[in-house]
Structure 1
Amino acid sequence: MCQHQPPCPSADSADREAARLTAHHPEQGWSLLCNGVLLFEDTGELLPDGQIIAPHRPLETGRIMKAA
């Protein structure tokens, strides 16, 4: 799929989100990566084999929680 040199990470790699964008549609909330992964703005993913990766937003940092 990928014609870049060096090639982008494959869809089954842990770093699959590092692949280059081939289509970007922020008005619809999704982007297509070079490796065939559909990346959604909520950080969910749809892999080329149909596997769904649930949204995985990072936890907020910089907030101090007080003990009750």
Structure 2
Amino acid sequence: MCRPPAAEAADRDTAVVVSRRSEQGWALLCNGVLLCDDTGKLLPEGRALPLLRPVPASVAS
């Protein structure tokens, strides 16, 4: 059996989804991380991480 990555680990998003509400835009991972489609992540201790979106090449240059 695989152990999920810790909520503090860099690969936290690879944990298994245990609950998803697509119509509300969120998913709960088995490590306690709440992924939000529009605002980022909420870690189990309450710390929020912003959503990281790639910057289009036309904006980056």
TM-score (norm 1): 0.77
Aligned residue number for residue 42 of structure 1: 38
Q: Which amino acid aligns with 1:35?
A: N
| One of 33, 51, 54 as aligned partner of 1:55 | 51
TM-score (norm 2): 0.85
- Looking at CA atoms only, which structure, 1 or 2, has the larger radius of gyration? 1
Q: Residue 21 in 1 paired to residue 3 in 2?
A: no
Question: Identity of aligned pairs, percent?
Answer: 47
Q: Which runs of 5+ in 1 are unaligned?
A: none
- The number of aligned residues is 58
Give the helix-richer structure, 1 or 2. Answer: 2
Aligned residue number for residue 7 of structure 2: 11
Q: Which amino acid aligns with 1:51?
A: R
Q: Which runs of 5+ in 2 are unaligned?
A: none
The 1-side partners of 2:2 and 2:26 are apart by 25
Q: In the TM superposition, what is the alpha-carbon distance from 1:6 to its structure 2 partner?
A: 1.4
Please provide the CA RMSD for this pair.
1.3
